[in-house]
Amino acid sequence: MIKLQNVSKIYPNQTKGLNQVSLTVEQGEFVAIVGLSGAGKSTLLRAINRLHDITEGNIEIHGASITKAEGKALRSIRRDIGMIFQGFNLVKRSSVLRNVLAGRVGHHGTLRTILGLFPKTDEDLAFEALARVNLLEKAYSRADELSGGQQQRVAIARVLAQEAKIILADEPVASLDPLTTKQVMDDLQRINQELKITTIINLHDIDLARAYATRIIGLRAGEVVFDGPVAEATDERFMEIYGRSLRELAPQEIEA
Ligand SMILES: Nc1ncnc2c1ncn2[C@@H]1O[C@H](COP(=O)(O)OP(=O)(O)O)[C@@H](O)[C@H]1O
Ligand SMILES: [Mg+2]
């Protein structure tokens, strides 16, 4: 369970990234966060795994405050949270297998990882993860030899090898074509359903959000302006909230 209580984030330049956000996500949910560019979607995901500190409020992960945790306690909470980024964040010159094994870092500390000393059980986990995203035969290819969609599925396998209980994905398909987008979203959905991994995905595409999520949260200017099931997330409703359709975003608006 992920619980945000009155969470605000003010950046050093005084920009308000989040303003008094309170919400709870139950284990196993598949939530899409939508909103225009600058709404606070990335800020929200980064706050949840404490890639940055929040200014006010509290965030609990499975009952433990990640806001207050330090050192070993913080690392232990983070181990349960896997991140997926728009740009895949793979080590391009390393093999697919090595990239997936990197998901084990949080379990061993960095020295062992640098030296490449992974126990056999880790390799088993990595191969199992690659099988789940149908990339077993690419295990020994260099990461940058794969297509964009395949690279994103390697990133998903890395999170699986991590044995994360929560996946946070920030615009995971924003740089992919429609067919590849479907493959990546199908993988995320299947993993969510089979392994009950709580999944929160930032998406600028409201149609995708409706096709895959079970719950949609709409942000505007750092505030939650919609939170409900897909059936209620109609175009009319979003026109009301945003004064424009969320389908008309130009790609350059996404990156911010
Ligand atoms: N590092 C930063 N420093 C200052 N302002 C930031 C920073 N990151 C994001 N912002 C601002 O915070 C707001 C929310 O940004 P962001 O979370 O990236 O939105 P989204 O992901 O929905 O496009 C925007 O006004 C953005 O300009
Ligand atoms: Mg963003």
* pLDDT digits (tens), the chain, 256 positions: 999 999 999 999 999 999 999 999 999 999 999 999 999 999 999 999 999 999 999 999 999 999 999 999 999 999 999 999 999 999 999 999 999 999 998 888 666 666 767 788 899 999 999 999 999 999 999 999 999 999 999 999 999 999 999 999 999 999 999 999 999 999 999 999 999 999 999 998 899 999 999 999 999 999 999 999 999 999 999 888 888 777 765 444 544 4
Q: Which of 154, 200, 147 is nearest to 175 (CA)?
A: 147
Q: Judge if the beta carbon of residue 35 lies within 6 A of ligand 1.
A: yes
Q: Report yes or no: 177 and 147 within 8 Å, Cβ to Cβ.
A: no
CA of 148 to the centre of ligand 2 (A): 19
Using CA positions, which residue lies closest to atom 16 of ligand 1? 40
pLDDT at 219: 96
Q: Which of 243, 246, 223 is nearest to 21 (CA)?
A: 223
Distance between CA 176 and CA 162 in Å, rounded?
24
Q: Judge if the beta carbon of residue 27 lies within 6 A of ligand 1.
A: no
Q: Judge if the beta carbon of residue 192 lies within 6 A of ligand 1.
A: no
CA of 190 to the centre of ligand 2 (A): 24
CA of 170 to the centre of ligand 2 (A): 7
Report the residue among 14, 15, 171 best suited for mutation to probe ligand 1: largest number of ligand atoms under 8 A from its CB. 15
Q: Report yes or no: 82 and 158 within 8 Å, Cβ to Cβ.
A: yes
pLDDT at 245: 78
pLDDT at 246: 76
pLDDT at 94: 96
pLDDT at 255: 47
Residues 6+ apart with CB under 8 A from 215: 29, 30, 31, 32, 227, 228, 229, 230
Q: Which of 162, 189, 153 is nearest to 103 (CA)?
A: 162
Q: What is the mean pLDDT of the chain?
A: 92
Q: Which is the closest atom of ligand 1 to the Cα of 171? A: 21
pLDDT at 256: 42
Distance between CA 153 and CA 187 in Å, rounded?
8
**Number of separate helices (H) and strands (E) present in the chain:** 10, 10
What tens digit of pLDDT does each residue of 232-250 get? 999 999 888 888 777 765 4
Q: Which pTM value belongs to this model?
A: 0.93
